[in-house]
Chains A and B, each alone.
Chain A
Amino acid sequence: DAGITQSPRHKVTETGTPVTLRCHQTENHRYMYWYRQDPGHGLRLIHYSYGVKDTDKGEVSDGYSVSRSKTEDFLLTLESATSSQTSVYFCAISGVDRENTEAFFGQGTRLTVV
């Protein structure tokens, strides 16, 4: 199994509070991704990183920011959590960002915003 750890695994937070989710990898992969999963939508890309301090927006980036200060860590921050951000969040990694390369996923973080 790819070495990807997400923390926390579960979190309940209040509307308006900041929240940070952490993704840690031991594979030394260059590319890291944050997705959210909602019923009927599959997975949707929030942000991704192609190297230390190199990040870019995905399909649903509004309300989220990311940081990558080390190869192994990719942080996702919800600046001010809203109920619409209640979701399951997945981190993924990939050695190369090519059309023929699979991504490996962490176990997910279930976030509930009340």
Chain B
Amino acid sequence: AQKITQTQPGMFVQEKEAVTLDCTYDTSDQSYGLFWYKQPSSGEMIFLIYQGSYDEQNATEGRYSLNFQKARKSANLVISASQLGDSAMYFCAMRERSNYQLIWGAGTKLIIKP
């Protein structure tokens, strides 16, 4: 069974609009971490934001925020006021206390239109 599911293979968004990238996860651990990474066309993997399973508040980092709904097992990435430079692949990943290996979703390709 997939542990990390990203249901949107690709998205087109108008510049300056907000965008939400979906991520659902499956784990029986009580303690786990959720991560989002950005991969631009140049290929590097850039860490964006982290949410811990015990964090009561949604994580925020600049224009990035994480809409964490624990009961629904979802950890959606929200990018406010999108920019052309946000065009990239975005990956959701999880680490569980029982298994520290990062488990990855298949990614969402985001294209920002001018």
Contacts and interface: CB of A to CB of B under 8 A. Distances in A.
A78 B23 CA distance: 33
Given A100-B33, A101-B95, A102-B35, A42 B107 contact: yes
A110 B33 CA distance: 29
A100 B97 CA distance: 9
A58 B100 CA distance: 11
Nearest to B42: A107
Nearest to B52: A100
A64 to B, nearest CB: 15
B47 interface: yes
B84 interface: no
Most buried by B among A43, A97, A101, A107: A43
Nearest to A108: B43
Contacts of A45: 101-102
B91 A102 contact: no
B103 to A, nearest CB: 8
Interface size class of A (residues with CB under 8 A): 20 to 34
B106 A41 contact: yes
A102 B105 contact: no
Given A90-B45, A107-B44, A42 B91 contact: yes
Interface in B71-114: 91, 93, 95-97, 100-102, 104-107
Contacts of A74: none
Contacts of A108: 43-45
A10 to B, nearest CB: 11
Given A99-B32, A100-B52, A102-B50, A42 B45 contact: no
Interface of A: 33, 40-45, 48, 58-59, 88, 90, 92, 97-108, 110
4 shortest interchain CB distances as A-B pairs: A42-B104, A105-B45, A99-B95, A99-B33
